[in-house]
């Protein structure tokens, strides 16, 4: 109901036009008897939209969505939420030490009929409350093994072995989150529908590795599905002396190229952090891996590396295919003495069609005749833009490859003393 209010009107007014407001008309006339000059109190009713509706009805008019809007996804997209603007203070007490009810002090109304609204008053001292202190979320401290690649982010964290399957326990297995992405799509009935995309790998550090991808609206569901699916799809990787790969390889998946090189004991894992996690799960301890192309697609990077591992050839297979002995040189262990790793079988010597050309390299044999590009690190070369350096490069441009070619010709048996001009002096060699 609209609130009633008293207004003081002088009685010597001649006439006031009738007021029609909220269904109530008020007419004021001059006292015909001349009367005294005292004021008269009359009842005037004020009404407005805010007086006729309750607070809950006003909030419903702003936050509610029609049935047609719910079908189009407006119920969950950008919906206004009802806020409590009365119980919590939004301002602190200033230097004047004046308390304003509703601003610096909470108003807690009760059902008591004698309840009176508090009034503005002054205090002697500013009280200390916990509401005014900024609260920080305290996270438990994690060890180096529990932390991921960066801070408290999920990629790189370990989540334990997969769940048992048909009574088989995954003893000695470990799982690592390689990628965690948040994706959303637009739905006609639900609006924005979000999902978590998780890429996980599972291994036992003895040659077994599993890689799977899972999606779900809930993070826990996607995590469990990816871990269990990876445990169901395990493959075995052959290693050389249980510490490195058998030979170098290069594999491309979509726009990501992975090139791997075996290394000696004590070298370590020099590779991308995602590849490093895969090597730890497989049991590889010494390797150098170079990733080229798209490095943001973690799934393509992992599949390229695992595909290259599965396509490895054993030393015996290489010996049977080529018909030659596979020999390894270890300067520290054997003092530059070659160690025979594998020898061809009797039948493979006659069936092999492999021909060893001049300049044959075992490292390029597994690359299919290609040679990996070794780009120079130019960050430390501060003199690249100097005029003197540009002039020197201009003069030496036509002799840019002659030094390397001269060494290669000497290595394969061609005399290089009389081959072309000297690359340093820019002229012919002296006789």
pLDDT value at residue 130: 54
Measured CA to CA, the distance from residue 253 to residue 300 in angstroms comes to 6
Q: pLDDT tens digits, residue range 328-387?
A: 877 665 566 788 888 988 877 666 677 777 667 777 788 876 777 777 777 778 888 899
pLDDT value at residue 81: 78
pLDDT value at residue 58: 80
SS3 26: strand
Q: pLDDT tens digits, residue range 109-148?
A: 677 777 777 788 888 887 766 554 556 777 788 887 788 8
Nearest one of 84, 94, 81 to 132, comparing CA atoms: 94
Determine the angle formed by the axes of helices 298-310 and 273-282, rounding to 10 degrees. 40
Q: How many CB atoms lie under 10 A from the CB of residue 368? A: 8
Q: b vs e for 141-152, b when ≥16 Cβ sit within 10 Å of the residue's Cβ?
A: eeeeeeebeeee
Q: How many CB atoms lie under 10 A from the CB of residue 122? A: 9
Structural domain boundaries of the chain? 4-52, 84-109+117-124, 174-236, 380-431
Q: b vs e for 236-270, b when ≥16 Cβ sit within 10 Å of the residue's Cβ?
A: ebebbeebbbbbbbbbebeebbbbbbbbeeeeebe
Which region among 47-56, 310-319, 402-411 has the lowest average model confidence (pLDDT)? 47-56
Banded pLDDT at 37 (limits 50, 70, 90): very low
Q: What share of the chain is helix, strand, coil (3-state, %, to 5)?
A: 25, 25, 50
> Contact at 8 Å (CB) between 239 and 263?
no
Nearest one of 265, 288, 263, 365 to 324, comparing CA atoms: 365
Banded pLDDT at 179 (limits 50, 70, 90): very high
Query: E-strand spans in 12-63?
Result: 15-21, 24-29, 39-45
Banded pLDDT at 26 (limits 50, 70, 90): very low
Greater pLDDT, 184 or 75: 184
> Contact at 8 Å (CB) between 270 and 262?
no
Residue 431 has pLDDT above 60, yes or no: no
CATH 3.40.1130.10 assigned to 174-236: no
Banded pLDDT at 59 (limits 50, 70, 90): confident
Cα distances from 238 to residues 245, 299, 428, in angstroms, run 7, 22, 53
Residue 236 has pLDDT above 90, yes or no: yes
Banded pLDDT at 282 (limits 50, 70, 90): very high
SS3 7: strand
Q: pLDDT tens digits, residue range 388-411?
A: 999 998 999 888 888 888 888 888
Task: Calculate what percentage of the chain has a pLDDT beyond 90.
Answer: 35
- Find how far residue 87's CA is from the centre of its chain: 39
Nearest one of 217, 186, 219, 172 to 200, comparing CA atoms: 219
Measured CA to CA, the distance from residue 28 to residue 19 in angstroms comes to 10
Measured CA to CA, the distance from residue 402 to residue 109 in angstroms comes to 94
User: pTM for this structure?
Assistant: 0.60
Question: What would the mean pLDDT of 247-266 be, rounded to a whole number?
Answer: 92
Most confident segment among 4-8, 53-57, 368-372: 53-57
């Amino acid at each position: 109901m609209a609130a009633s209010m008293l207004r003081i009107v002088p009685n010597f007014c001649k006439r006031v036009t009738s007021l029609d407001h909220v269904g109530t008309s008020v007419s004021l006339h001059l006292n015909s008897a001349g009367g005294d000059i005292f004021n008269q109190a009359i009842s005037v009713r004020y009404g407005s939209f805010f007086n006729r509706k309750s607070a809950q009805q006003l909030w419903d008019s702003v936050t509610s969505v029609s049935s047609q809007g719910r079908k189009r996804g407006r119920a969950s997209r950008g919906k206004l939420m009802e806020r409590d603007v009365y119980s919590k203070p939004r301002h602190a007490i200033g230097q004047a030490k004046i308390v304003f009810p509703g601003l610096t002090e909470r108003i807690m109304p009760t059902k008591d009929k004698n309840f009176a609204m508090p009034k503005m008053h002054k205090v002697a001292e500013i009280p200390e409350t916990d509401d005014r202190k900024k609260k920080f979320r305290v996270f438990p401290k994690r060890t180096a093994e529990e932390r991921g690649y960066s801070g408290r982010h999920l990629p790189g964290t370990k989540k334990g072995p997969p769940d048992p399957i048909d009574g088989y326990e995954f003893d000695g297995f470990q799982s690592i989150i390689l990628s965690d992405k948040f994706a959303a799509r637009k739905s006609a009935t639900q609006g924005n529908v979000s999902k978590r995309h998780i890429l996980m790998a599972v291994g036992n550090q003895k040659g077994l590795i599993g890689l799977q991808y899972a999606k779900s609206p809930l993070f826990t569901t996607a995590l469990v599905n990816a871990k269990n699916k990876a445990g169901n799809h395990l493959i075995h990787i052959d290693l050389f002396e249980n510490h490195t790969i058998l030979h170098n390889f290069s594999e491309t998946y979509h726009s990501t190229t992975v090139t791997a090189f075996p290394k000696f004991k004590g070298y370590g894992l020099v590779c991308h952090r995602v590849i490093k996690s895969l090597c730890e799960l497989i049991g590889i301890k010494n390797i150098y891996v170079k990733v080229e192309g798209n490095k943001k697609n973690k799934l393509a990077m992992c599949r390229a590396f695992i595909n290259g591992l599965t396509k490895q050839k054993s030393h015996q297979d290489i010996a049977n295919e080529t018909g030659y002995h596979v020999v390894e040189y270890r300067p520290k262990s054997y003092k530059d003495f070659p160690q025979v790793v594998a020898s061809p079988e009797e039948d493979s010597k006659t069936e092999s069609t492999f021909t060893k050309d001049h300049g044959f390299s075992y490292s390029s044999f597994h690359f299919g005749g290609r040679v990996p590009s070794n780009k120079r690190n130019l960050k430390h070369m501060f003199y690249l833009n100097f005029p003197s350096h540009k002039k020197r490069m201009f003069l030496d441009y036509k002799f840019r490859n002659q030094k390397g070619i001269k060494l290669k010709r000497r290595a394969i048996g061609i005399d290089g003393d009389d081959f072309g001009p000297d690359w340093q002096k820019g002229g012919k060699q002296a006789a």
